[in-house]
Amino acid sequence: MANIQAIRGMHDILPDQTPLWQYAEKTIRDVLGNYGYSEIRLPVVEKTELFKRSIGEVTDIVEKEMYTFDDRNGDSLTLRPEGTAGCLRACLEHGLLHNQVHRLWYYGAMYRHERPQKGRYRQFFQIGVETYGMASADIDAELLFLTDRLWKRLGIRDKVRLQLNSLGTIAERLIYRDALVNYFEQHLDALDEDSLRRLKSNPLRILDTKNPAMIDVVKHAPELMDYLGDDSRQHFQTILDSLMDSGVSYEINTRLVRGLDYYSKTVFEWVTDELGSQGTICAGGRYDGLIEQLGGKANSAIGFAMGMERLLLLLETLDLKIENSVDVYLIRVGENAEKVGLRLAEQLRTDIPTLKLQVDCAGGSIKSQFKKADKSGAKFALILGEEEVAHGEIGIKSLRDAQFEQQTLVMSDVVNFLHINICA
């Protein structure tokens, strides 16, 4: 019988990959902490209606990417394709939006039925950030500072670029939409099938096309920037000034419209040229209208989501040496040594709570145990044979420093030795 395999597009993260993930996750948590953001934990499954109402019916996600199923009572449920809707649902449900300001983040798996390829999977991890109750452009700037700081701390600032645009208010966008439809209607021959469909349902999405044959027609389309009112213009300019002021470089990309319906004013993406067409590692924007759309009182909201797999692909290009290693590896040879060694290891972990100590529990010759000790990344091997046990002693060998002579210590001196040589 053939072995059962994982679902296409859903990947295991194996033990040799997790240290880099943990490093990235910790760095992100640290930076979020620097700005006073709090974690929120949300369900992986929500009512299908939530995503239809928030993301919008005419979007790639709702039209063709959702994992939707009926549960046993016949309710339609969906594995979350993104976190914004669920986060807002939770905050409305628990009354967190009433006269309050929030800076939140969440982390977890998202699900979209897309064609799997490098940087695009059916299960992928996102770090999402959502803020509520702040209308000022300072919070828009803060999110950009925060992400800029994160790239610097991870050492990838020179691999990413910030692209910004303003989508204006919903009213401004409606006027622009008419102008855009008018323009495309005069160039129907140049539109592909997807775009012809979107012309009726969501014409702004045509600007987002990845079809090279349409570059020209899109390039000459009217620009939303020319349709913004004073308030939207001022909001955008304030962000640009703050970025200039702090030396964060950016590019204005007037074609950046984002896939989702709910954005207004600021939208942004951090993009890289190193991952082929899956070049967006972080994307977000302001979505002031969504809270009302989900039944809450009008309120401000802005956030972003970062794709962890794409971030990890970028980090892998740095060749960082981040491995899961231990400090000490205990080699035991002989029945008495096994018994005494197991007890000793427990005692050492009690005496030195930060110690990372691995005991060889698979046995084998001393040579094969040394091989495993070396692979464990440990600095020192402790060696316990029948002779050492008989004398109440233990051998110590450095696995990294050839100058260090192998020693034999009285068992009671081991704690002291490790304190000085490992935990100091």
Binding residues (CB under 6 A) for ligand ATP: these are: 82, 112, 114, 119-121, 124, 126, 259, 278, 280-283, 305, 307, 309-310
Rank residues 264 and 280 by Cβ distance to ligand ATP and give the closer one.
280
Rank residues 113 and 397 by Cβ distance to ligand ATP and give the closer one.
113
Shortest Å, Cβ 312 to ligand ATP:
10
Shortest Å, Cβ 10 to ligand ATP:
11
Rank residues 53 and 379 by Cβ distance to ligand ATP and give the closer one.
53
Phi-psi group of 229: left, alpha or beta (phi > 0 → left; psi -120 to 50 → alpha; rest → beta): beta
H helices of 220-289, in order, are 230-245
Shortest Å, Cβ 309 to ligand ATP:
5
Tell how strand 380-384 and strand 328-332 pair up. Answer: parallel
Shortest Å, Cβ 283 to ligand ATP:
4
Rank residues 209 and 299 by Cβ distance to ligand ATP and give the closer one.
209
Which residue number is nearest to ligand ATP in terms of Cβ?
Answer: 307
Contact indicator for 422, 355 with CB cutoff of 8 Å: yes
Contact indicator for 144, 129 with CB cutoff of 8 Å: no
3-state SS assignment for residue 350: helix
Residue type for position 304: F
Give dist(CA 249, CA 71) in Å, integer: 48
Shortest Å, Cβ 368 to ligand ATP:
41
Rank residues 180 and 314 by Cβ distance to ligand ATP and give the closer one.
314
Shortest Å, Cβ 84 to ligand ATP:
9
Rank residues 302 and 340 by Cβ distance to ligand ATP and give the closer one.
302
Q: Which two tokens stand for residue 229?
A: 């009112």
Q: Which of 130, 45, 152 is nearest to 306 (CA)?
A: 130
Tell how strand 38-39 and strand 328-332 pair up. Answer: unpaired
Give dist(CA 330, CA 381) in Å, integer: 6
Q: Which of 161, 141, 137 is nearest to 151 (CA)?
A: 161
- φ, ψ for residue 366, nearest 5 deg: -60, -35
Rank residues 281 and 378 by Cβ distance to ligand ATP and give the closer one.
281
Shortest Å, Cβ 329 to ligand ATP:
37
Report the alpha-carbon angle 117-118-123, nearest 5. Answer: 70
Shortest Å, Cβ 222 to ligand ATP:
23
Rank residues 309 and 388 by Cβ distance to ligand ATP and give the closer one.
309
H helices of 229-334, in order, are 230-245, 290-293, 308-316
